[in-house]
Structure 1
């Protein structure tokens, strides 16, 4: 890397602060160790990978002893470690691919231990497949299902803690890896130059095809909030939409990480091409109307998203049930209010999807 080691470490710690690590399910001791060891000069990806391996061993030992709850908890902590290990690389180099492969294998193992409550999903799209992970509640019949996804770097099982919160409220969750994300990009070769609404509607097709999953909702985080809003505007099956920290009209921001991640999602480093694709995907309230209940979340301390960036979503609401919730000291996607944010939004979805599914 062109930066000094200390510069790289500072960049990683800014992009992946302690609040974000914990929000995505990293064990607190692992998060502390990751910051301490990388501050002392160790490589971010190597430390996070080593922490993951320790958690995987703990999970396997617990499973062998018949301690299924402990095994699942340790496996979940390992997933978070691996998630942040691969996040050290913006471009799809062999190291990122290898780390993501470990993440996928560990997630498959968690599915095997879940007794049918967690399963891998692959859906045909654009001569390839979209990938996701379905997490079911304890009951056979879900009160509804929320399609949850991130933006440029938080994908799939990054939102497993959210899925668990939704499950406690009787809701299923489909953790989507949309175009430009996770395996859908790394292994299936689908980038963000496709029809994004059509892609996310394929996940809605899956939810609608299973009567045990109930009515669908959609929850997009970061740049994913844009795709959630645009999909809700064209897919009448969606019964509730949450935009968390979204940009209605994304542009290339003056951060190297943002630019590199945007390029990787599109499969090019040509900034003019990236900017043009952002314009293509932008949300326009005169065209994109949202009929279902809408919830928009914003953090007042978010360095990436300003109030004017999310106002178009609210301007597009045709439902009287449209809410803006602001945490004045909130970080991007409200990492630092993760527990309250997740509980509040999970309750919001439970109230709306359950009513709809029972009609």
Structure 2
């Protein structure tokens, strides 16, 4: 039997490295098994879904036995498997939609198991709804709330581990799925080409509408970092902003996966339209000024983002309120230092958002 890994499997394993799988909450054994099974030729989505099935079975057995903590942990790990199962498809195929719908249903089930209050958020927008998940700390009220955006392929529950760490510090998290992302795109059919500022402001409105959520911060990862910075520049309610591995001036990078994901976000295969949309989203430090504290984090081994790509965000902030943190060997969005990265940023938000005396 040949042990040669197909080019398709290699591409998926590069895009979803073990460090990324672990960062988003996958069990180590599942992460290793996913790479091993796909190396042997098993389709990525089928292997990841099978691993999810095993974790769902563990969750059900534990819940039936009265072991709710074990049930919750297994449910979390199953959700992470489904998150990566749907990433096998860049285009919005029926299979991708089916997997993501199952992920959303599993998240609803997790809300009944978690010790943290979890609420599905549905915000009216252009005749449809923006979707998110509001995760509160066990002790209310929250000391503040962080809106978390993902990028082109990982959204929402990809940042559940981050939400848990923020909750441990008394902070709530709004796991936002903006236009072109997650269920907002796959279920509500809202692409990234509309009024992004209004959509992102809607998540801020949800935080501001609830005094128990405290002041709002925003944390964006990959292209979500661009949206976080743009929102912080346009919405004075944002009290702190973190940008993690983002292009201030995005363009069509010479990678097939990147191009296909960008097209799917826009809902158009017209690459000229995709490129024009990137131009529309550009952050300009001469125009876009960030008044709140800003944290930019960067990985020196990031194959997609150079530090110079993130410099405009720093240029837009006041020098005394801007912080740059670099991991010299950091991968894209610092997957390979996930625990340290998350602790550093969560502590920073806890300091920035703590209520005034």
Normalising by structure 2, what TM-score? Answer: 0.97
TM superposition shift of 1:269: 1.0
- The aligned residue for residue 120 of structure 2 is 120
* Residues 68 and 185 of structure 1: CA distance in aligned 2, closer, same or farther (over 3 Å): same
Q: Distance in 1 between matches of 2:63 and 2:134?
A: 22
* Residues 338 and 116 of structure 1: CA distance in aligned 2, closer, same or farther (over 3 Å): closer
- The aligned residue for residue 292 of structure 1 is 292
- The aligned residue for residue 95 of structure 1 is 95
- The aligned residue for residue 166 of structure 1 is 166
- The aligned residue for residue 52 of structure 2 is 52
- The aligned residue for residue 177 of structure 1 is 177
TM superposition shift of 1:126: 1.6
Task: For 1:163-242, list aligned pairs within 5 A.
Answer: 163-242=163-242
* CA distances 1:186-210 after superposition (whole Å, capped 9, x unpaired): 1111111112122111011001111
Task: For 1:263-278, list aligned pairs within 5 A.
Answer: 263-278=263-278
Q: Distance in 2 between matches of 1:308 and 1:319?
A: 17
* CA distances 1:79-113 after superposition (whole Å, capped 9, x unpaired): 10000000000000011011111101100100122
SS of match in other structure, 2:279: helix
Q: Which runs of 5+ in 2 are unaligned?
A: none
SS of match in other structure, 1:106: helix
SS of match in other structure, 1:165: helix
Q: Distance in 1 between matches of 2:124 and 2:312?
A: 32
* CA distances 1:58-94 after superposition (whole Å, capped 9, x unpaired): 1111111221111111000001000000000000001
* Aligned residues between the structures: 354
- The aligned residue for residue 305 of structure 1 is 305
| Contact 1:292 1:319 (8 Å CA) reproduced | no
- The aligned residue for residue 358 of structure 1 is 356
* CA distances 1:295-350 after superposition (whole Å, capped 9, x unpaired): 00100000100111100000000362100110010000000000000000000000
Q: Which runs of 5+ in 1 are unaligned?
A: none
Task: For 1:307-326, list aligned pairs within 5 A.
Answer: 307-318=307-318, 320-326=320-326
Normalising by structure 1, what TM-score? Answer: 0.97
TM superposition shift of 1:116: 6.4
Runs of 4+ residues over 6 Å off in structure 1: none
| Contact 2:5 2:39 (8 Å CA) reproduced | no
- The aligned residue for residue 73 of structure 2 is 73
| Contact 1:290 1:319 (8 Å CA) reproduced | no
Taking only aligned residues, the RMSD between alpha carbons, in angstroms, comes to 1.1
Q: Distance in 1 between matches of 2:72 and 2:134?
A: 16
TM superposition shift of 1:114: 2.8
SS of match in other structure, 2:6: helix
